[in-house]
Amino acid sequence: MNKRDMAIIKDLERFRVMGRDDIASIHFGKLKNPITSANMVLKRLARDGQIEVSKSFSPFAYFPAGSTMKRNSTKIPHFLSLVDVYKQITSYYTPRTFQIEPKYSKGLAEPDIYTGFNGTPFFIEVQRNVYSQKVMNQKIERYAALRFSEEFKVKPFPVVLMISNTRYEIKNKDVRVFQIESIHEFIRNARKSQQPAKKPAQEVIRYKLG
């Protein structure tokens, strides 16, 4: 296997599942024909047992070898949405850390993503469903509990980016939360706060988060 093969396998292990177009964008995006190139490589890797494929999706969905995820799992759209967040972020910068569903003790927060850039750590929540205000309050309280627990040592505590089409009333003073519809929206809003100055995305984000 070459380096790109290993990078694809590593991403499948990290994300659990990826669509063909996701892989083409991330790993073949600089080529003249990324979809054609991705199809050829993925077909070879699947043939050799290095990855697994589900043809129930169009385009096909790919899994790491030995994946126990059911091919009709309701979690698949969720994981694919996390891949989309990664693609949005990498259109602006390449994060050093991008962890999917970091695990903490029961009763603490269950983030979808832990990442960071420009010295600022982030938790990202991708809300595909609409929750009651009570459920959302409980979710944020679990983030506050994580902040003051002995389990999370990183300082400062990560900012929470909540990606959702629904807006909630969040009053918890122990956790900083930005409610956005996409990473692109977050970057656009950050840039607007700097007008008329024109700065790179990283500098804008640093200003926005103060």
Span 88-140, pLDDT tens digits: 999 998 999 999 999 999 999 999 999 987 778 999 999 989 999 999 999 99
Q: What is the CATH number of domain 81-209?
A: 3.40.1350
pTM of the model: 0.88
With H, G, I as helix, E, B as strand and everything else as coil, classify residue 94: coil
State the DSSP string of 44-93.
Answer: HHHHTTSEEEETTSSS-EEEETT--S-TT-TTHHHHHHHHHHHHHHHTT-
**What residue has token string 């010295």?**
119
CA distances from 159 to 95, 123, 144 (A): 15, 6, 11
Which pLDDT score, from 0 to 100, does residue 210 have? 46
CATH topology of domain 3-71: Arc Repressor Mutant, subunit A (1.10.10)
User: CB of 45 within 8 A of CB of 5?
Assistant: yes
Q: Where are the domains of the chain?
A: 3-71, 81-209
Summarised one tens digit per residue, pLDDT across range 143-192 is 999 999 988 877 899 999 999 999 999 999 999 999 999 999 998 887 77
